[in-house]
Amino acid sequence: MNSPFFIVGTEFSGSSLIASILNLSESINCHIEPTPKLHIETRDTMDGKSINIKELLKKTILERVTAFSQIGCRYGETQSTLGPFLLELYELTGCKFIYVHRDGRDVVKLGMDKNNLRSGRVYRECRFNKLVTDRAVLKASEVLQGCDSHDYSRPRPIAGEALFKSWRSLSREEMLAFYWARINQIHLDMLAELPRECWMSIDCTAPSVEEINSVFEFLDCNAIGASKIKSKLTNESVALKAPNNEAGEYPYWVSWNSKKRTNFMSIAEKEMSLLRYATNKRTQWRPLNFGEVCNETKNIEERYAWIYQGRINAHRGFLKWLQQKPEIESIADFGSGIGYGYRDEITDIEYTGYDISKRVCDIANTNRKSPLQNFICVDYIENELDRKYDLVYSSGTIDNCYDVEAYLAAMVNASSKWIYLSCYRGWFPELLEHQYTYSEDHGCFYNDLSPSLVQKSLEDLGCTETLAYKLKSSNEEIDFETVIVARVN
Amino acid sequence: MSNDTVDPADNERQILERISYLETALENYGTQIRALNDVVSQIQVSVNSFSGQVNGASGQINELKNSVYQLTKNKNSSLHKVNGELSKFDQLVDYASYREQIKSNYGPIFAPIAEYEKLVSKIGSLKHLNPTPLSKLLPVNDGNKANISLRHDIDADPERAVELAGILAQYGIPGSFYVLHSAKYYGVFGDGKFHRNPRLKTWVQELMLSGMEVGVHNDAFGLNKQGKDGVKLFADEVEYLRSLGANITGSVAHNSFPTHFAENFEVFSEFVLFARESELKLGELSMKDLGLMYEGNYPVKRASISEGKLDDFISLDYAKNKLQWLKTYLHQNPVMEKKYEIDIWLYENDHWLVSDRRQGHNSFSTLKETNALIEYLSDIEGNCSIVVTVHPELYQR
């Protein structure tokens, strides 16, 4: 008899998708969350309550494994509550585990949608219910506490843990971040104790046909055709990028504001790194296709001339400011493009333009007007520069970046005296958080920055004399731009 | 040489002198220009510095603007508007002052909310206790377990009630919450109409989302005493709460015997305790007709009523002798018995009154803190029914 297998991981990770694909094979019989689901026992175990786990498993899971083993197929099941029981389950059955995981930000989004649009029963102690639809409220009222073992099964911090005292004041997003981090941590800890050959992991954030086929190989089953897998992946898409436009839908993480980003990472950063969804703090908010548009730009000279003229007030303001700073002998321009305008205006001091588009940098280097000018292609947020400049300047680029905080940090890191940046999208003194909007088509963000938050961030980075002020825009559609200046110590 | 004749040498000297003069003047002008340039430069520095200060001030103004924005936002969120107009309720009630008043009234007798959490977490871990909504208290089906219901009479503080519901939800413990339809927080009368607090919907829905049972804290007779049609108003509110999606299957009576000579549940024909002359509309409603399945006091008529004991009860002044009154009400009630066996009542300052009417017990005791109550609950054997009654306003931070 083949040993059984269990598809384990957090809710909303894609385990049902894997199960449905495996079930396309005639030799596999994979059940999706059969009962009993051990909801209460998993929470009690996580809370440190004493439970005879082996007896529990014998009376529940082993009974159904035995019953189905008569059929001849390989038995499998998905279950999101097995994390604390993996060692005992392996000892009792010699089973295999398929550990399914997914970017925690996706799991938070799906959990929020489930709560707000459908069930109203995800972390029911949460007080942040403004986004919950009436439909979800009604659904929630159908299940009283005492009967709601599903929500009970989700972990909560226990006394003595950092989040214990503040738990009920957290937003539901934060609670879900805790859920994702804690359940994955338990799985990673348990799997580390097991022989390597008894488990595999699969990232279901955007799984490929090859990755799915590796699950069949792991189970020693014949793979099914690639077309069948492709079809399943398409029909039961796990991708979140195409919103289904349901009213009240929680935003995909690329559109989270700065507070949501900070809150999430403050709870889930360690596990995001362990699972390789955020290995680099500088780029953890960079979408996969970010910047692709920069490589596709046509008529570059013309386009940059138009951009420059459209913001002439901002450029004049900066050049005037620069004239009053004779101590500045070297400038790094982040997001320089082809250096349009500046290649003519700044010829007597060192001027280095940085841009993420190689094509743009190549054109810029061809057209430079002074030997003191240079253009370098690099993602200056991701890569720390190997030298410092008297001034790090950036004109209307932070508005399109993937992480304002990381951008500011990169500017400060590369500067020895000053930073100066302008934001073309406007002046938003009412904002307490940066608002991010990502355009898949353009491959870039459109950010509205909170001036007060920028100032705070710069001060946290050690800057002094930080100024954030509005500047009359040359664009008729925008009244004012934002200018930020700070001294770097 | 005539006088008119100009000596070329003189002419040249004069020219040279003139040039020299002009050179000196130029030098002086140059010096002045340089000085002026310095002044201009200094002015420019000052202007820049001033500009910096202006910008700095602009930053501070932004911060102030943000603060004002937040304050305005907070203030606005504390007021409820309908189509841009302040709700009628908010025109009639200063809700912020009401909140302050509640805090002040209960301040001297509150228990820390952490004690409630301690109690809830313990109830969740005691295996011989079976926490259940009040509607499901009876019968006790598992002989090894005691059914225990946490009843919350929301006399004054619905926001605290929602907070307590959150604690219950965190530990997966059911609770039953009863909104008092005659309370100021619920609604007020004005221009001959009843104006509900627009916040009510949010509170009720939050209780529902927490997984709590919601019911009405019945004060029909209290409203009658105010000259309103309390019976109709009670029935109206059952329907209103249902319109919010709440599954209202029961009510619990707001204590009224000492003031009305009738319990509020006697508005139901099923629960008139004894026949008497009354201005109140005793037995006017039918629970069945209203679709109600339970009355949370689970009252049982006494077979006979001792007039002496009844007179004693009525003569007790609740305000002057609260403890004695509660003892009589809970444990020696001359007009009714209860189907369940143990009443546990949060009194004041984390003191608990326990009326244990189990066979062979029949005791009334005061437990002086939550730990003592936990000890009491830990020692209870199974196969009995317990109601813990809490007024949320008695818990504060």
DSSP class of residue A115 equals I
Amino acid (one-letter) located at B82: V
Q: For residue B2, name the pLDDT band (cuts at 50, 70, 90).
A: very low
Give the per-residue pLDDT at A175: 98
Q: For residue B108, name the pLDDT band (cuts at 50, 70, 90).
A: very high
DSSP class of residue A118 equals I
Q: Are A140 and B208 an interchain contact pair (Cβ–Cβ within 8 Å)?
A: yes
Chain B CB within 8 Å of residue A129 CB? yes
Q: Are B210 and A125 an interchain contact pair (Cβ–Cβ within 8 Å)?
A: yes
Mean pLDDT confidence for A434-457:
95
Q: Which of A141, A168, A470 is the mutation pick for testing B, counting most B CBs within 10 A?
A: A141
Lowest mean pLDDT among A47-51, A236-240, A253-257, A466-470: A236-240
Pair type for strands A74-79 and A28-32: parallel
Q: How far apart are CA A166 and CA A156, in angstroms?
A: 11
Number of other residues whose CB lies within 10 A of the CB of residue A172: 24
Q: Are B174 and A144 an interchain contact pair (Cβ–Cβ within 8 Å)?
A: yes
DSSP class of residue A14 equals S
Give the per-residue pLDDT at B29: 63
Lowest mean pLDDT among A485-489, B137-141, B225-229, B277-281: B277-281
B54 pLDDT more than 80: no
Ramachandran quadrant class, A483 (left: phi over 0; alpha: psi -120 to 50; beta: rest): beta
Give the per-residue pLDDT at B241: 98
Number of other residues whose CB lies within 10 A of the CB of residue B112: 13
Mean pLDDT confidence for B183-192:
95
Chain B CB within 8 Å of residue A126 CB? yes
Q: How far apart are CA B301 and CA B353, in angstroms?
A: 23
A204 pLDDT more than 70: yes
Q: Which of B55, B118, B123 is the mutation pick for testing A, counting most A CBs within 10 A?
A: B55
Lowest mean pLDDT among A213-222, A292-301, B181-190: A292-301
CA A120 to chain centre: 24
Q: Are B302 and B335 in contact (CB under 8 A)?
A: yes
Chain A CB within 8 Å of residue B125 CB? yes
Burial class (CB in 10 A: 0-12, 13-18, 19+), A288: exposed
Nearest CA in chain B to A430: B66
- Residues from chain A that touch B174, judged by Cβ atoms under 8 A, are 144-146
Mean pLDDT confidence for A265-290:
95
Which residues are registered as beta bridge partners of A9? Answer: A100
Closest-CA residue to B355 (of B385, B311, B317): B385
Give the per-residue pLDDT at A224: 86
B53 pLDDT more than 60: no
pLDDT digits (tens, 9 = 90+) for A313-353: 999 999 999 999 999 999 999 999 999 999 999 999 999 99
Residue A138 has its nearest CB partner, among B55, B58, B245, at B245
Q: Are A415 and A327 in contact (CB under 8 A)?
A: no
Supply the mean pLDDT for chain B: 87
Mean pLDDT confidence for B327-351:
95
Give the per-residue pLDDT at B60: 56
Chain B CB within 8 Å of residue A327 CB? no
A236 pLDDT more than 80: no
Mean pLDDT confidence for A234-253:
69
Closest-CA residue to B56 (of A229, A331, A483): A483
Q: Which of A116, A123, A124, A151 is the mutation pick for testing B, counting most B CBs within 10 A?
A: A124
Pair type for strands B352-356 and B363-367: antiparallel
Give the per-residue pLDDT at B75: 47
- The pair of structure tokens assigned to B311 is 């007179």
Amino acid (one-letter) located at B168: L
Give the per-residue pLDDT at B277: 85
CA B178-B184-B188 angle, 5° bins: 115
DSSP class of residue B134 equals G
CA B304-B310-B314 angle, 5° bins: 155
- Shortest Cα distance, chain A CAs vs residue B63, angstroms: 6
Q: How far apart are CA B181 and CA A207, in angstroms?
A: 55
Mean pLDDT confidence for A58-71:
88
Q: How far apart are CA B40 and CA A133, in angstroms?
A: 65
Q: How many residues does chain A have?
A: 489
Output the pTM of the full model.
Answer: 0.87
Give the per-residue pLDDT at B48: 47
Q: How far apart are CA A340 and CA B125, in angstroms?
A: 70
Q: Which of A41, A122, A125 is the mutation pick for testing B, counting most B CBs within 10 A?
A: A125
Closest-CA residue to B101 (of B17, B178, B29, B185): B185
pLDDT digits (tens, 9 = 90+) for B243-285: 999 999 999 999 988 888 899 999 999 999 998 888 888 999 9
Q: For residue B45, name the pLDDT band (cuts at 50, 70, 90).
A: very low
Give the per-residue pLDDT at B72: 45
Q: Are A137 and B211 an interchain contact pair (Cβ–Cβ within 8 Å)?
A: no
Closest-CA residue to A442 (of A220, A291, A308, A235): A291
Residues with Cβ < 8 Å from B245, sequence gap 6 or more?
A: A134, A137, A138, A141, B205, B208
B73 pLDDT more than 50: no
A24 pLDDT more than 50: yes
Chain A CB within 8 Å of residue B209 CB? yes
- The pair of structure tokens assigned to A4 is 């059984």
Q: Where are the alpha helices (DSSP H) in chain B?
A: 8-78, 88-92, 95-106, 113-125, 158-171, 200-209, 220-225, 230-243, 257-260, 287-290, 307-315, 322-331, 370-379
Which residues are registered as beta bridge partners of A48? Answer: none
Q: For residue B18, name the pLDDT band (cuts at 50, 70, 90).
A: low
CB pairs under 8 A between A and B: 115
Give the per-residue pLDDT at A297: 56
Give the per-residue pLDDT at B276: 87
Give the per-residue pLDDT at A382: 95
Q: For residue A295, name the pLDDT band (cuts at 50, 70, 90).
A: low
φ/ψ (deg, to 5) at A188: -65, -40
Q: How far apart are CA A15 and CA A100, in angstroms?
A: 6
Which residues are registered as beta bridge partners of B189? Answer: B194
- Residues from chain A that touch B59, judged by Cβ atoms under 8 A, are 451-452, 455, 466-469
Q: Are B55 and A452 an interchain contact pair (Cβ–Cβ within 8 Å)?
A: no
Q: For residue A248, name the pLDDT band (cuts at 50, 70, 90).
A: confident
* A425 CB-side CA count, 13 A: 18
- The pair of structure tokens assigned to B374 is 């936990």
Lowest mean pLDDT among A218-227, A351-360, A463-472, B234-243: A218-227
pLDDT digits (tens, 9 = 90+) for B366-395: 999 999 999 999 999 889 999 999 999 999
Q: How far apart are CA B53 and CA B281, in angstroms?
A: 75
Mean pLDDT confidence for A12-25:
93
Q: For residue A244, name the pLDDT band (cuts at 50, 70, 90).
A: low
B313 pLDDT more than 60: yes
